[in-house]
Structures are given as C-alpha cells and as structure tokens.
Amino acid sequence: MVCVSFTSAWAQNAITLPIEVTGADGTAKSVEVIVPAGSSERVRSLWVQIHGLEYPDMVSIRVNQSEWVPLNNKTVSVAEPGRSYGGIGGGVATLKLTLALPAATVVNGTNRIDFRFNRTNGVVSGFRILAFNFLDNGGSAILPADEFVAEDPNTWTPPFRDAANIAAGKNLWHSASLTANGLPNAPPIRARCSDCHTQDGRDLKYFNFSNASIAARSRFHGLSELEGEQIASYIRSLPFANPGRPWNPPYQPGPGLDAQPVVNWAAGAGLQWVLDNDVETLPFLFPGAGDGDKVRLTPAAIRLAAFSPDGNLNPREIPIAFPLPDWNHWLPQVHPMDNWGDRFENSAFSRLYAASDYEQAVSAGDAAAFFDKWSKARSQFLTPHLTAGSKKWTPELSEVFYSAELWQLVKTWEITQQLGLEKGGQAFYGAETKAHSWPDLVPAGTAPASVNIPDGPNGMGGSALTNEYFTNAWYELQMVSNNGEHRRHGRLPVDWVYVIGRFRDLEKVSGRAEPGRLLIAIIQAMQASDPNIGPENISEGWRPEQNVDPRIMVDPEWMAAFAPLPKDVKRAITEAWLEAWLEKTLRYPAASYFQRGSVASSYARPTDLEGISGGQAWDSVPEFRAAGVNSRLTQRLEQWGKAYRDLAQLFHY
C-alpha cells in the first residue's frame, strides 16, 4: 500500500483540499486532524464529499484504529441529489455521504483518517476528497471551517521546466502508444492521448488536472512515471485559461455566469450551485419566493411576467438540483477507431473533423452549417444499429456507440474553445442578444436516447436510471448551451415536447420530482419563437401546438411531477402560465393559425404526450376548474377553443 500523510496542527496549518488519491490499486492517503477538547464525545459520523466514486467498494475509509469500511449504498448514507440518481454506482460523479462511526472512534486531540483506492474497474484510476468533517448527532460540524483551505492551481509548478522535457511531453501526448487500461495484460489501443482529449491538451489545463493525476493516468495507460511527468510538464506549459476544476461540471448553471468572461463559462458555476432540493430553484424563477437560504413559497411570489412568451429567461443563471456530468464523463471510454478501425477513419464522421473543415466554415461565417453536416455524418455512420428494440444491443455495443457520441462532444468543445465560438451569440441569433451560446446541436446528439440506446441492463451504467440520467443531462446541456434565443426553426435547436417528455421518463425511475427544472424548460419552450413573428410563419412564429400546454399542470399523469409544490402555489403557477399563454395566443386572429393543406399538423407528437401538447388546452377546462383556476381564465380558454374548433372545420383540420 502506498501511503502519504498530510498533517494539520490546530489553528496553525490548515488541511489542503482536495485530497487526491490516484494510482495503483491499494494507493492510500491519510490526514491528521485535531478535534477540540471536549468535542470527541459528540462525534457520531464522518461526512465526506467525494469526486469520482464510481462503483461500490471502490473506496474504503478508516478512522484511527477502527476497521476499514468499504463505501457502498449499505455502509453509508448518500445525500441528495446523488441518492436519487443511483447513489454509489449511479450516474452522478460527485457524492456527499455520511459514514456512521462507533462510539469512541474519535478522540480529543489528534485523529487520523485514511482514504484508500481499493481497486480499478479498468476505467477509473482514483478519486478526490473535496471536503470532510466530523458531525454531531444533530448534523453540525465539529471541525471549524478555518481548518481547511482550497488548493490554488495557479501555484503549481511543472515536474520539468526545461524545453526538452516539455517537447518530449508534447510528442508523447500526440504519438505515445497506449494500453487500454491499468488491468493486467491490457491490450494496446490505436488511440493516443490527443484522440480522446483535445488535440492540444487544453482540456487538462482548463479543468486543472493536477500533475499527479496526469502522471497516474499516464501510468494507467501503460506509460512510465517519467513519461507521465513529461506529459504533465507539457500540459502546465500551455498558454490557456484555467478556470475549471475536474469536479465542477462544465456549464453547470448558476448566478453570475454571464457577468464573467466568456472563457469562464465552460468551467460552470461550481458544485456549490448544484442545489440539494429542486424546489430551491423556484426563488430564482420567481424572485420573492425565497428569503435568504429559506425557501418560502407563496402565491404572491408567482408573477405573470415569468411566463411571458416574449420574455428572456436565462437558463445559464438559474441553479438547478441536477448535477451535469463532470469532464471525466465527457471523455469516451472507447475511441471510435479502436472499435471500428479503418471504417471509422475513412468515414465522413472522422474526416470532417480531421480535415479541419470547421476552420473554413467559421471563416465563412457558417459554423452552424458545419456542425449540422458533421452531426448528420455521425448519424449516417451509426445508422445500422439505430433500432431501440434490436436484440443486438449489449452493454459493450451501447458503450461504443455512446463513446462515439462523446468523442464528437469533446471535439466540439475543442473547436468551440479553439475558435472562440462561445461568444458568438450575436452572430447566431441577432445583434440584440448578448447570450453565450454554442452554434450546434451536438449536446442533444450525445444523449443515449438519440441513438436509441435502451433503458435497462444494456443501457449506460447497466440500468434505466443511469441511462435516463445521462439522457436528461445532455438534453439539459443543450438547453443551457443553445436554446435558440427566440430564433427557432421548426423544432430546432430543441424539440421541446420530446425533451420535456424525458423529464417524466427520469422521474419514473428515480422517484424524484423536478418541478423547478421542468418549469425552466417549459418557459424556454414558450420563448423559443421570435416575438415579432406571428403564427402565419409555421417554422419560426408562435405556434402553441409546438409546445407543452398549461394543461400539464392539471393532467393526472403529471401530478407527481408537481407534487412538491404547495397546492396554492401550484394553482398560482397554473393561473400565471395560462394567462400568459392566452394573452400571447389571442394576440393574433384565430384564422392566422390555419394554413391550407396539412403542413401545420405534419409533426407527430409522441403518443404519450398528446394529453399535454398540441395547443388544444381548452380540452382541459374541467380539470382547470377542478384545480380552482380563476373562472375568468377558464371562460376565456373555453371561448378560444370554440372559435378555434369552428375555424378548424372550415379549414378541414
């Protein structure tokens, strides 16, 4: 066992976090903490925030002379939101957990905590302790906050400073022969470091992967300690911004992101803005619904303006209780060339990236067209296996298909960073917008559902829950990175009805309602159209049938989605949404919603969503009345429905 100690003296030397445990099986690190006199008797548990705990029994913890405890969903209590998404072994990369301690485990004065990496599964090579503390019976921390200090990556120095070793590291990055993993007799692979990561290595610099983690990962893939340190020296030498951390999910929403330089956007708002409870999102949607750290939901806080189809909800700045994938979960486990070989390398899917066509497209001001072409090339390459019910699906096949999607996502991030495309919102959506934005649909195309990877044992993580988590995560990233900014074209860049339907798919397997995150998506859907274009323009104008209707609030099949809301607050939300929907819809003459022919109804909605979409919200007038919705609104809705139906007969709809 490899063991390294960090020693802390009370009120003198703070403990530097994170504690990074990477390397061979059995690698461990220990830390010594001083418990104030008279406090040890109050200790009941150890609370830990850990990044990279991927599967049960991967990590063990020992306090003083107690037994090693392997971490799994039976030995520890996992906190939300990670618990609902599978806990240890689920989709969430960073977990907060509590380990109960036997009486007298902790003593007054110096205590030692050991963290051990038990074994690799052929994918991971370690973990990070981001925070920890002893807790008393009421859950209060025993160790003071000033006992800990966050490590500053800007103080790091490279293992080697000389040009020769840095050049050697660069060469290794691009050309070193690698093995598949750190398991015995691991086979060689065709991919090089630069194939799965960014071509120039900027991702490791941007997200501040440490020298030790880079060297450990290099050894994991069959390189020597010296070669790993040379690669780390090359990464440290790169002249790129480095605002991120490995555990902070890229693009995680949070207040103040837009006020920062656009180069910081990919770093996300940080784990501190991953909320514990979805209801905590509501004060950010409805200012006045919260008071400091306390959420006080009242009907008076719900404002009509929040639902205005002509408004500008900013999903980048509203925190959610849904952690997006960290950078490690962007990286493909299997490079396409190691699964398909020459078939991949000779495909348009590969060649479009290798030929740097994107540079020409961006120079011509048409980056969106390049990404559209590239996404179609991916679909054409993967088409032979795009049948969800196919008996050919296996965990291995799902992994290589998903990895192909991830490869494109990583390379899209690379191109976006390299060419400064994130600040191109004005070029994509008009001079009046200041939005950070991606010019593509690649995040949505990364969802397992986009290639019909099935839920269940053949899905990602071997479960419906993890498969649905990743599907929702990449659709969420699409909504954050490119929601159209009032410039929709048909059902692009987001097929809102379909995406909102995936919320329920996740809820069914997680048991976790998300009314806050769902409302963010619903409002974005209503705001997808140009405020200045009416329903005559089917592709770009206001078309209620292309969104989710307010009747989702009273639909029996969606009751669980809004169950966490107090009844009076739910009614206030329903009324505000319905009134905003009616004001926008009735702004235009009823005849403007009809076109000769069948163009307007050519889109086939998922059959299980027909009850909440299609624009015919008047069908749910009885349900609105039963929910106590203002009679003035239900009467207006009923009148609009009659007018619409009368015209529909004339137009033969």
User: pLDDT-based confidence at 10, cuts 50/70/90?
Assistant: very low
What mean pLDDT is predicted for residues 630-646? Answer: 93
User: Which DSSP symbol is given to 550?
Assistant: G
Place of tokens 């209503």: 526
As to burial, measured by CB atoms within 10 angstroms (0-12 exposed, 13-18 middle, 19+ buried), residue 235 is buried
User: pLDDT-based confidence at 9, cuts 50/70/90?
Assistant: very low
User: pLDDT-based confidence at 407, cuts 50/70/90?
Assistant: very high
The reply to whether 645 and 557 lie within a common domain is yes
| Spatial CA neighbour of 358 closest among 375, 380, 336 | 375
* Pairwise CA distance, residues 401 & 453, whole Å: 8
Q: Which of 285-294, 332-341, 444-453, 457-466 has the lowest mean pLDDT?
A: 285-294
The reply to whether 86 and 189 lie within a common domain is no
Summary mean pLDDT of the chain: 91
pLDDT higher than threshold 70 for residue 153:
yes
DSSP string, 161-189: -SHHHHHHHHHHHHH--EES-SSTTPPEE
User: pLDDT-based confidence at 424, cuts 50/70/90?
Assistant: low
Phi, psi of 526 (to 5 degrees): -65, -30
In a domain, 245, yes or no: no
Please report the pLDDT score of residue 607 as a whole number. 73
Q: Print the SS3 string covering 23-50.
A: CCCCCEEEEEEEECCCCHHHCCEEEEEE
Phi, psi of 113 (to 5 degrees): -120, 130
Residues 6+ positions from 372 with CB-CB distance below 8 Å: 440, 441
User: pLDDT-based confidence at 426, cuts 50/70/90?
Assistant: very low
Please report the pLDDT score of residue 363 as a whole number. 76
Please report the pLDDT score of residue 389 as a whole number. 57
The reply to whether 101 and 216 lie within a common domain is no
Please report the pLDDT score of residue 354 as a whole number. 85
* Pairwise CA distance, residues 564 & 572, whole Å: 14
Please report the pLDDT score of residue 580 as a whole number. 96
User: pLDDT-based confidence at 545, cuts 50/70/90?
Assistant: confident
Rounded alpha-carbon distances, angstroms, from residue 199 to 53, 60, 192, 194, 202: 28, 36, 10, 4, 8
Q: Which of 184-193, 354-363, 399-408, 587-596 has the lowest mean pLDDT?
A: 354-363
Question: At which of 220, 237, 254 does a domain end?
Answer: 237
Please report the pLDDT score of residue 1 as a whole number. 42
* Pairwise CA distance, residues 74 & 56, whole Å: 9
What mean pLDDT is predicted for residues 522-537? Answer: 92
Compute the C-alpha angle 331/332/334, nearest 5°.
150
User: pLDDT-based confidence at 533, cuts 50/70/90?
Assistant: very high
What mean pLDDT is predicted for residues 626-630? Answer: 96
User: pLDDT-based confidence at 600, cuts 50/70/90?
Assistant: very low
pLDDT one-digit tens code per residue, 159-174: 999 999 999 999 999 9
The reply to whether 133 and 282 lie within a common domain is no
The reply to whether 178 and 228 lie within a common domain is yes
Say if residue 18 is preceded by a cis peptide, omega within 30 of 0: yes
The reply to whether 117 and 176 lie within a common domain is no
* Pairwise CA distance, residues 17 & 131, whole Å: 7
| Spatial CA neighbour of 577 closest among 547, 536, 533 | 547
What mean pLDDT is predicted for residues 488-493? Answer: 84
User: Which value, to the nearest 10 degrees, does the dihedral of the CA atoms of residues 584, 585, 589, 590 take?
Assistant: 180
In a domain, 425, yes or no: no
Look at 378 and 616; give whichever has higher pLDDT: 378
The reply to whether 562 and 652 lie within a common domain is yes
Q: Which of 356-360, 424-428, 533-537 has the lowest mean pLDDT?
A: 424-428
pLDDT higher than threshold 90 for residue 31:
yes
AA identity, residue 285: L
pLDDT one-digit tens code per residue, 187-243: 999 999 999 999 999 999 999 999 999 999 999 999 999 999 999 999 999 999 999
In a domain, 144, yes or no: yes
| Spatial CA neighbour of 472 closest among 441, 449, 496, 494 | 449
Please report the pLDDT score of residue 604 as a whole number. 67
User: Which DSSP symbol is given to 548?
Assistant: B
* Pairwise CA distance, residues 71 & 608, whole Å: 40
In a domain, 565, yes or no: yes
Please report the pLDDT score of residue 357 as a whole number. 74
Contact between 381 and 349 under an 8 Å Cβ cutoff? The reply is yes
What's this model's pTM, rounded to 2 decimal places?
A: 0.94
The reply to whether 108 and 166 lie within a common domain is no
pLDDT one-digit tens code per residue, 573-582: 999 999 999 9
In a domain, 647, yes or no: yes
Residues 6+ positions from 104 with CB-CB distance below 8 Å: none
What mean pLDDT is predicted for residues 321-335? Answer: 98
Contact between 315 and 516 under an 8 Å Cβ cutoff? The reply is no
The reply to whether 496 and 618 lie within a common domain is yes
Contact between 53 and 136 under an 8 Å Cβ cutoff? The reply is no
Whole-number percent of the chain with pLDDT over 70:
92
- Helix 515-526 to helix 464-481 angle (10° resolution) is 40
H or E stretch at 202? helix 202-206
pLDDT higher than threshold 60 for residue 2:
no
CATH number, domain with residue 77: 2.60.120
pLDDT higher than threshold 90 for residue 388:
no
Please report the pLDDT score of residue 479 as a whole number. 96
The reply to whether 228 and 308 lie within a common domain is no
Q: Which domain holds residue 37?
A: 3-151
Q: Which spans in 238-307 are helix H?
A: 282-285
Please report the pLDDT score of residue 652 as a whole number. 57
In a domain, 529, yes or no: yes
What mean pLDDT is predicted for residues 35-40? Answer: 94
In a domain, 364, yes or no: no
The reply to whether 19 and 160 lie within a common domain is no
| Spatial CA neighbour of 233 closest among 330, 150, 142, 168 | 168
Please report the pLDDT score of residue 359 as a whole number. 82
What mean pLDDT is predicted for residues 609-615? Answer: 83
What mean pLDDT is predicted for residues 519-524? Answer: 96
Contact between 3 and 115 under an 8 Å Cβ cutoff? The reply is no
Question: At which of 151, 173, 197 does a domain end?
Answer: 151
Please report the pLDDT score of residue 507 as a whole number. 97
Question: At which of 151, 181, 211 does a domain end?
Answer: 151
Q: How many CB atoms lie within 10 A of CB 616?
A: 17
The reply to whether 89 and 181 lie within a common domain is no
Please report the pLDDT score of residue 370 as a whole number. 92
User: pLDDT-based confidence at 293, cuts 50/70/90?
Assistant: very low
How many distinct structural domains can be found in the chain? 3
User: pLDDT-based confidence at 614, cuts 50/70/90?
Assistant: confident
pLDDT one-digit tens code per residue, 69-107: 999 999 999 999 999 999 999 999 999 999 999 999 999
User: Which DSSP symbol is given to 611?
Assistant: T
Please report the pLDDT score of residue 486 as a whole number. 86
In a domain, 139, yes or no: yes
Please report the pLDDT score of residue 355 as a whole number. 77
Whole-number percent of the chain with pLDDT over 90:
80
Tell me the two tokens of residue 120: 């690799």
